[in-house]
Chains A and B, each alone.
Chain A
């Protein structure tokens, strides 16, 4: 375990990747470090039928065919665009894919309104240009250019947040696979090495902000990551990720299954309420994604650990839930209040268990906030 706050996947799973590489005897495309099957195995975990000596844990939870399609896309000529709602694990999948394929998941460009073409291609070290003139030495390559030069996977987060001209700069990179540097007289073209590809992510809620051009769409294969609605897989994801996040705080804590169930159930209820809502005012601003559940749980665990009884309680969970989801006042608070009184109250009367405590915690939190 490294002492970084958040180690990238290739560092965190370095030992596992090394071992997989050592046992991998299948053909590998380009300069890939693992064969496609091993990449899949690294991400989705091993089965007994794989016949491996050690067990590889599952790291991304979702449909198997999505992962297969993503891997195959990276082995083909096209870039991969992961599209989905916030909190569905797009970036995590992108990171795992890059780590497994080229052991480098940090060649990332973050798409924002302020991203410029320089961030994708290259920029200049002004002092060096003044001192030595324009040369390869005084050039600062972008992460994408670095990926091209090294035959690695470049990542572009939130592609649709960047403006159209920046997006268009990607077109030539993806089709011609080189970047020309007209400022240089010689050695003015940077060619991509075999193995180079791009994984971009886009938030489907941002549709219409900066729509992709048809030309760029054509150069990407789209893989849509759905919101997890299967309660069983969602429980697995929440448990897995929370454990990982808590490890940063040197906390080894098992979330009681009943409380996990309360969390999943309440998110399920709120999602159903949001789906049935007629206007935006009637639904919570939050997307109610799995990532948000993880956030709520982590917050509750930390709160109980630092200020509470060192054990997670339903009360802490409720107050964390209200605290995380109430973003607009009074709309969100009103919805949560309605939920607590309309759904949780009857349930706590009928089912008992942790629900009465959850209800009480929620009421207190709402009272504090309003």
Chain B
């Protein structure tokens, strides 16, 4: 085998043979498997349509792909990628890789609602074979790129759990190891948690071209143990990647198909997953045959790029001449939107369960291989980032592709003895020096001696691990051994420093042209800020709206973004916006570049942020679990961000609708606050109140009156909620009465309320005092009685809590509350007082943020300001004369209608007679207040009398 040194694959051969021997059931089965492997390889190689097996994030695959494309120059490239993603591929040229192709559906149709939003991502890195194929196909005239894998819709349709457990409506978990492509389960304990690293991809289901990994934990464990490596990425790197680096095309193909076939035959794993895989293969071959038939292309001119796992397929539809029995089901009615989102190496590693740093190492290796082999990679014209020379349109130099050996490559592969790879000493030396410098910068006491030690240890470790040349993983271990001491001085430890040195995490960026219209619109509208918002990191924006009125529009956009994007994307530092309030100066911390994915995903929902906001507000307001409070919140948002009355009125009507169907009082405090704010806003800014808010007050008044008696007795309704209901009733009363409500309803409701708990009883007393049903003196007398009675004194604090809450509906009672609290401190025994104090504090802190100032102001008015005054001070409530027994005889002069009765005594006499009451008419007191006034100006009185007598 020319081009491939004899024995490069010896180690891999030993590994695979042993795995086959361990996992096959007996020697007969082993033979069957080995023969099967040969069959698989043979079938795939004989296929007239050339199959090119790849593995994800494998620079060896990428190099082999580049070579093959340059040599064969196929006219059609079939790629294992969701077929519906084809239109966005060309946008890749506007992006800096890695980015991910995304299919996104906000609203589902045909899938359980709990799955929404559906999101599928397929990350693309530069060091991947698929990118080479895409770049070649898109930039070479006359070449067609056909995506043949099932659509994003089918990803969810074919999800094994969707088939079995539609009723449970469990969303496919992207981090679940058994997921079709989102293989997870990193074995590196130091890896960052999947949550933070995977942030760029959100909770999307990940797709990878060329997923090649044992699907059976025991097999993987076996390979790792026997390969003496820690994780799968390292195994692949050592046993496949390095030996494959320089192999010829045929060897490459055979090895890849062989590995795919072995994993498939030995341990296919979960049957549901196998079925999905086979269906995908059927789908791909069916699509390819359709395309070949439709275009009449010669299969010889085509190249089919797929994962090695699929290259070793045994389905009947396999091949150009395969069966045409597979029917591709229709897509669901779900509306899918497609776009590109930024990705990062760490996100890819987290999503697919690769070891931390492995994608970065692959990128470094790819760059090095390019330099070494002088292979000219394909690159989309206009592609940003990377900094490597473009592929150029000039004819690439002929790559000395390794000569194809005559025959029977497989036998040769299995017979090769191990050989030594060249030891790239200079590179290792460079790394050693570099890591020591990095460590020093990060606070380590590292010196040149450490660089020497790292160099030496790397070589020793590689030797011990049977590697001819230290891999980046050996180097990392050596650096940790020699430089890491008992503590980490800075933020990063040596392991992390090595990862950064090996290329670190690289985050992609989606270029302006590839952004959805919404995102472009946002950037356009924020252009007056003159900030590079596309770049990652936080930018500080200063908006002097008074000085530059045109910035007000930017401010509007920013406030909407703050409402729509995750926290941190747009954060106001100075300035605020609330109903009827706008700042003249604002400053913002903007991180739109960092949160590019969120902005792009907004773009799937609409064409402008206003439209998206409107949709979301509508959706919230019409959600089945919407409450009056949440709908009022959307009204507030609509007024605040969208202006105009149309949407606010529509949502307001919806709030009215929700309120009238509500049966609980949970949201009462929230409703009260919001409606108060909205009323205050409309009263100051509009000539007339919107009709919906008038109806809301009217309905609310009747609604809360109806619920009041139940709320007073219901244990589930808290005192705060009841207080809020009373607050609504009392503070909206004048408006409600003017709109035709009847106060009697409220009085009746209070009369029907018979609370059991002490707090609510106090609240009821306060309410009755407000309505005049209970005088202050009565209230005071009741409290005195409670304090004086040793049996009830223990309950007094609970009454006090009720009074505190009563400040909300009856703020005029604050002087009485101060008195009651003072009395509590003065008269309550310590055993009662002390345990209650924390309750008082927590009540004031949690519920009483607004009540406390009221109380403090009142207390300041009541209590003396200086210490000297305290000696002579008497509390106002003690200074007052003790009220005498209540006079039940009303003052004749103030009795309403007295004179009227005197003038027309017939009715009263008849009634008295009927009741058997013998009384006489008393003469009206002459000195009634105001009587003198009436005597001096009799005209008004006479007119009234005439009116009444006439009526």
Q: Do A and B bind each other?
A: yes
**A interface residue numbers (CB < 8 A to B):** 36-37, 40, 47-49, 64-65, 68-69, 71-73, 75-78, 83, 202, 204, 207, 212, 214, 217-218, 221-224
- Do A218 and B464 have beta carbons less than 8 Å apart? no
B residues in contact with A76, CB < 8 Å:
453, 456-457, 460
Q: In the complex, A40→B480 CA distance in Å?
A: 19
A residues in contact with B453, CB < 8 Å:
76-78, 221
- In the complex, the chain B residue whose C-beta lies closest to that of A29 is B460
B residues in contact with A36, CB < 8 Å:
460, 463-464
What are the interface flags for B451-462 relative to A under an 8 Å C-beta threshold, 1 for contact and 0 otherwise? 001001100110
B:476-493 near A, CB below 8 Å: 477-478, 480-482, 484-486
A-B contact pairs, 21 of them (CB 8 A): A37-B464, A49-B14, A68-B461, A68-B465, A68-B477, A69-B461, A69-B477, A72-B460, A72-B464, A72-B478, A73-B481, A76-B460, A77-B453, A83-B486, A202-B486, A214-B445, A217-B486, A218-B445, A218-B447, A221-B481, A224-B486
- Do B482 and A49 have beta carbons less than 8 Å apart? no
User: How many interface contacts (CB-CB < 8 Å) are there between A and B?
Assistant: 67
- Do B457 and A72 have beta carbons less than 8 Å apart? yes
Q: In the complex, A202→B460 CA distance in Å?
A: 25
Q: In the complex, A76→B457 CA distance in Å?
A: 7
Q: In the complex, A36→B450 CA distance in Å?
A: 22
A residues in contact with B228, CB < 8 Å:
64
**B interface residue numbers (CB < 8 A to A):** 14, 18, 225-226, 228, 230, 445, 447, 449-450, 453, 456-457, 460-461, 463-465, 477-478, 480-482, 484-486
The residue from A71, A202, A222 contacting B464, defined by CB atoms under 8 A apart: A71
- Do B14 and A75 have beta carbons less than 8 Å apart? no
B residues in contact with A214, CB < 8 Å:
445
A residues in contact with B486, CB < 8 Å:
83, 202, 204, 207, 212, 217, 222, 224
Q: In the complex, A94→B675 CA distance in Å?
A: 74
Known: A36-B464, A65-B477. 8 other contacts (CB 8 A): A36-B460, A49-B18, A72-B461, A76-B457, A212-B486, A218-B445, A218-B447, A222-B486
- Do A72 and B481 have beta carbons less than 8 Å apart? yes
Q: Tell me the smallest distance from the CB of B284 to a CB of chain A, in Å.
A: 37
Q: Tell me the smallest distance from the CB of A29 to a CB of chain B, in Å.
A: 9
Most A CB contacts (10 A, CB to CB) among B450, B453, B464, B478 go to B464
Q: In the complex, A204→B485 CA distance in Å?
A: 12
Q: Tell me the smallest distance from the CB of B23 to a CB of chain A, in Å.
A: 13
- In the complex, the chain B residue whose C-beta lies closest to that of A64 is B228
Q: In the complex, A72→B486 CA distance in Å?
A: 19
Q: Tell me the smallest distance from the CB of B471 to a CB of chain A, in Å.
A: 13
- Do B481 and A223 have beta carbons less than 8 Å apart? yes
The residue from B449, B461, B465 contacting A218, defined by CB atoms under 8 A apart: B449
Q: In the complex, A73→B464 CA distance in Å?
A: 12
- In the complex, the chain A residue whose C-beta lies closest to that of B484 is A222
- Do B226 and A49 have beta carbons less than 8 Å apart? yes
- Do B481 and A47 have beta carbons less than 8 Å apart? no
Once A72-B457, A76-B457 are accepted as A-B contacts, the answer to whether A40 and B464 lie under 8 Å apart by CB is yes
Q: In the complex, A47→B226 CA distance in Å?
A: 7
Q: In the complex, A359→B567 CA distance in Å?
A: 49
- In the complex, the chain A residue whose C-beta lies closest to that of B15 is A49
Q: In the complex, A68→B466 CA distance in Å?
A: 12
B residues in contact with A40, CB < 8 Å:
464
- Do B485 and A222 have beta carbons less than 8 Å apart? yes
- In the complex, the chain B residue whose C-beta lies closest to that of A223 is B481
B residues in contact with A221, CB < 8 Å:
453, 457, 481-482
B residues in contact with A204, CB < 8 Å:
486
A residues in contact with B478, CB < 8 Å:
69, 72
The residue from A69, A217, A218 contacting B481, defined by CB atoms under 8 A apart: A69
Q: In the complex, A77→B463 CA distance in Å?
A: 17
- In the complex, the chain B residue whose C-beta lies closest to that of A175 is B449
Q: Tell me the smallest distance from the CB of A75 to a CB of chain B, in Å.
A: 6
A residues in contact with B225, CB < 8 Å:
47
- In the complex, the chain A residue whose C-beta lies closest to that of B450 is A218
- In the complex, the chain A residue whose C-beta lies closest to that of B457 is A72
Q: In the complex, A338→B728 CA distance in Å?
A: 49
Q: In the complex, A223→B18 CA distance in Å?
A: 32
- In the complex, the chain B residue whose C-beta lies closest to that of A78 is B453
- Do A217 and B445 have beta carbons less than 8 Å apart? yes
B residues in contact with A47, CB < 8 Å:
225-226
- In the complex, the chain B residue whose C-beta lies closest to that of A204 is B486
Q: In the complex, A207→B453 CA distance in Å?
A: 26
B residues in contact with A77, CB < 8 Å:
453, 456
Q: Tell me the smallest distance from the CB of A235 to a CB of chain B, in Å.
A: 17
B residues in contact with A48, CB < 8 Å:
18
Q: In the complex, A118→B440 CA distance in Å?
A: 36
Q: Tell me the smallest distance from the CB of B96 to a CB of chain A, in Å.
A: 35
